[in-house]
Structure 1
Amino acid sequence: MTERRRHKQQVRKAFDSAADSYDRAAAVQREVCHRLATLAATTPPSGSVSRILDAGCGTGFGLDLIARAQPDAHIVALDFAPAMLARVRQNSSASTISPLCADLEALPLAAGSLDAAWSSLALQWCDPALSLAQIAHALRPGGVAWIATLGPATLWELREAFARVDEASHVIRFHPPAHWIAAAEKAGLTAVASDLEPAYALAPDLRGLLRDIKAIGAHSVGEQRRRKPLGRAAWRTLEAAYETHRRPDGQLPATYDLILLALRKQESDHD
């Protein structure tokens, strides 16, 4: 099995397992959807909008935001995890939705079949060049992709604290904004707007933060090897290191290095 295929299986398994707990812990994910909706409102596609892709829809929170902004559009709700898709119908009140279980790096969509694409906190698990090329292929000329993904400073507090415990890679590193923009340009997409303001998960203690990360399925993606549970001494070291980040309001933060992009397909593209 190739490393890429192993990674894909790991992603699917992690988010299938998290489907039942995702909505209870996804406060940051909901905030990001609202931020992405604000960006989308200021960067509409040219012409009418009849078909939109939600690429990596998860349990479907973003679908109502998309439907509210584009009430006449049909939405393709795509996710790689079948258990996530199974929750879409019960979570969304939008009526014109077609669930689709597929890979963001191999979209089963015809060229130029989309007026817009929305993707909130899904593409960070993908190869930027592959996934953006697929989205660009499916967009019509003048169509827009609204992307929320994560940068390399995501969960930096956790990475710094774990460095006091061992040398293992406990936190996956994501691509910086310049990498995403370069991949977009190569795919024929031009960045017309961006926002790099971070988002924060908050909890009263470290156990609460880690519990929420586990509940949304992101805890095991990108691990290089199976690790034994932390012993008591290591846990105390981890807690003490993380405690230095406690905010004046008493909460412990976990930073999400958020990258918001509006990418327009060139009008002259005859893909």
Structure 2
Amino acid sequence: MSEARHVRARFSRAAHRYDDVADFQRQMGERLLATLPHGLPSGWMLDGGCGTGHGLGLLRRHWPDAEVLALDFAYPMVARATANSRLCADLQALPLANASMEGIWSNLAIQWCNPDAVAREMARVLKPGGWLAASTLGPETFRELRQAFATVDRYRHTIPFPDPDHVASAFRRVGFIDVQLRRETLVLHYPDMVSLLSAVRDLGASRVTGGGRRPGLMGKAAWRRFVSAYELMAESSGLPLSYDTLCINATLGMGL
């Protein structure tokens, strides 16, 4: 099973409690909303990777009269979204007509996609001159986890995230212009390892497939070394965990 399918399965299982643990996602939604300039056209908008629908409220706040299509690849997630128009589908294969959307909003979803595939689909369904606002994660996300695991073994324990330049180039290649990247490290603190690892799991980033993953379970001694190494990084606010956040704003070019 691919990493994307593992993420979909994990989100599907977590849908009933997702709103209780999605603090980071909500913070990123507010940050992404703050990047949107006033005066953007409304009309039909796509909330790509809507989860349980937090972004819908943000979009309605910004555009009270807009028609928003809520889309997620995990059916139990989109089923909980309070939208008139909902669709369970993959951002990399959108079942939408060409040039059918005025704008696309996507909060913490495209990191699970191939950058070239998702950029191509977004460009296809946007109208010329349409806008894109997306947040995602960069390669420095969870650096503390990698440091602590490196004291135990050399396997991958979290899903890798793409380089920001690669993501920006993918959107430029398919016709997006004025591509702007805002990169910021957000450090959250957790009271203990259980809550920290739960946050990583609920984000969908803990299930690693393919080459480089650890064969089998970690033993008790290795687990204790990992926890001890992580606890050495503890701060007064708790155990730190870094998120390498990216906000992307772009406009689809008018073409020839």
Structure 1 match to 2:172: 185
Closer/same/farther in 2, CA of residues 143 and 165 from structure 1, 3 Å limit: same
Closer/same/farther in 2, CA of residues 44 and 201 from structure 1, 3 Å limit: farther
Structure 2 match to 1:269: 255
Residue by residue, what CA displacement relative to the aligned partner does 1:124-179 show, whole Å, maximum 9, x if unpaired?
00000110110111111111110101110010110111111122210221111111
Structure 1 match to 2:18: 22
Deviation, structure 1 residue 227 = 4.9
TM-score, normalisation: structure 2: 0.93
The number of residue pairs the alignment matches comes to: 255
Contact 1:116 1:144 in 2 (8 A): yes
Which residue, 30, 53, 56 being the options, matches 2:46?
A: 53
Which residue, 72, 81, 88 being the options, matches 1:79?
A: 72
Deviation, structure 1 residue 226 = 6.9
Contact 2:231 2:239 in 1 (8 A): yes
Structure 1 match to 2:158: 171
Root-mean-square deviation (CA), in Å? 1.9
Structure 2 match to 1:156: 143
Rounded Cα–Cα distance in structure 1 between residues aligned with 2:17 and 2:216? 23
Deviation, structure 1 residue 219 = 2.0
Contact 2:168 2:179 in 1 (8 A): no
Between 253-262 and 220-229, the greater mean CA deviation after superposition: 220-229
Which residue, 126, 151, 155 being the options, matches 1:139?
A: 126
Rounded Cα–Cα distance in structure 1 between residues aligned with 2:100 and 2:245? 28
- Secondary structure (helix, strand or coil) at the match of 1:129 reads helix
Contact 2:48 2:70 in 1 (8 A): yes
Closer/same/farther in 2, CA of residues 262 and 200 from structure 1, 3 Å limit: same
Structure 1 match to 2:6: 10
Structure 2 match to 1:245: 233
Deviation, structure 1 residue 255 = 0.9
The residue correspondences of 1:84-99 to structure 2 (distance < 5 A) are: 84-89=77-82, 97-99=84-86
Rounded Cα–Cα distance in structure 2 between residues aligned with 1:32 and 1:8? 21
Closer/same/farther in 2, CA of residues 201 and 26 from structure 1, 3 Å limit: farther
Which residue, 221, 232, 235 being the options, matches 2:223?
A: 235
The code of the aligned residue for 1:220 comes to: R
Which residue, 45, 70, 88 being the options, matches 1:101?
A: 88
Contact 2:48 2:105 in 1 (8 A): yes
Closer/same/farther in 2, CA of residues 221 and 74 from structure 1, 3 Å limit: farther
TM-score, normalisation: structure 1: 0.88
Rounded Cα–Cα distance in structure 2 between residues aligned with 1:44 and 1:83? 34
Rounded Cα–Cα distance in structure 1 between residues aligned with 2:30 and 2:240? 20
Contact 1:54 1:77 in 2 (8 A): yes
Q: Which runs of 5+ in 2 are unaligned?
A: none
Between 214-223 and 142-151, the greater mean CA deviation after superposition: 214-223
Answer yes or no: is 1:213 the counterpart of 2:229.
no
Which residue, 184, 188, 196 being the options, matches 1:201?
A: 188
Which residue, 68, 75, 78 being the options, matches 2:61?
A: 68
- Secondary structure (helix, strand or coil) at the match of 1:198 reads strand
Closer/same/farther in 2, CA of residues 28 and 109 from structure 1, 3 Å limit: same
Dislocated runs of 4+, deviation >6 Å: none
